[in-house]
Amino acid sequence: MIDTHAHILPGLDDGPETMEQTKKMLDAAVKEQISGIIATPHGHHPNFKTDLKALADKLEIVKNYITEAQLPIEIYKGQECRLSDKLPGRLDAGEALTLAGSRYVLLELPSSGIPAYTVPVIQQLIGRNYVPIIAHAERNQGIIEKPDRLRKLLLHGAMAQVTAGSVAGSFGKAIQKTAFTLIEANLIHVYGSDIHSLDKRPFHFNAGLDTLEKKKMHEFVDIFLENNERIILNENLYVLEPQDIVKAKWWNIF
């Protein structure tokens, strides 16, 4: 299983502060039977400095530890790229990173809503052969208030990712309900932990998958895990036909 969203490199952003914390997170990943992690520290976030040299150095340290400890897991380079009209140019210039060297870009919107320039940026990315994947879509306030806003973004070529903890209910019932609303409407394609720490923001990877299984949504488990693998391979994602939110059966889930 591949985790497509993880703040696991030490000392870069609001993830682990030390390598010892990173080691414990890797041990937890192995226990969850995660075989690969895309490290996605924040890129060009207003609260965190973007330093790709430091990112590369920390990634190498973590890779060396994984080899020395003989852990059955791989770690890949990536970023959670903050929405900006400069993002397409930054990607072209190598100043921002895609997921595991693929054409897929983990795109972080402001949590408060969807800026007016979101669609033009998505269109620019698509035009340059990148595929934006909207991170933790179910936690965006604009999408929570009106989930159909995500469908409209997908019509312009974006994909969307859901956080495992949201599915498992760790962010509360309102966000969990939004997550299932989007999943049931075929608006989610990728699954990630968005882990930051073991105490406050753990993996919840299997907990989210188990929740989907309990709701008899086995096909989505298969799709999410398959698409996570396809990102690593830079292959096309499996996409179901999006539904209007009003046609989704989310009211039967809870």
The CA R_g of the chain, rounded to the nearest whole Å, is 17
What integer pLDDT is reported at residue 135 of this predicted model? Answer: 97
For residue range 2-35, what is the model confidence (pLDDT) as tens digits? 999 999 999 998 889 999 999 999 999 999 999 9
Eight-state DSSP code of residue 138: G
How do 42-43 and 80-82 pair as beta strands?
Answer: parallel
Rounded Cα gap, residues 125 and 3, in angstroms: 23
Q: Taking the model in full, what pTM does it have?
A: 0.93
Q: Would you say 77 and 41 are in contact if contact means Cβ atoms under 8 Å apart?
A: no
What integer pLDDT is reported at residue 68 of this predicted model? Answer: 96
Number of H helices, E strands in the chain: 10, 9
Q: Is 82 buried (19+), middle (13-18) or exposed (0-12) by CB count in 10 A?
A: buried
Where is average pLDDT lowest: 97-106, 189-198, 238-247?
A: 238-247
Rounded Cα gap, residues 23 and 61, in angstroms: 11
Strands (E) in the chain, as ranges, are 2-6, 36-39, 42-43, 74-77, 80-82, 104-108, 131-134, 159-163, 190-192
List of domains in the chain: 2-252 (3.20.20.140)
pLDDT range class, residue 171, cuts 50, 70, 90: very high
What integer pLDDT is reported at residue 249 of this predicted model? Answer: 52
Rounded Cα gap, residues 92 and 77, in angstroms: 16
Sign of CA dihedral 232, 140, 85, 42: negative
pLDDT range class, residue 241, cuts 50, 70, 90: confident
What integer pLDDT is reported at residue 246 of this predicted model? Answer: 53
Locate 174 and state its tokens. Answer: 């309102």
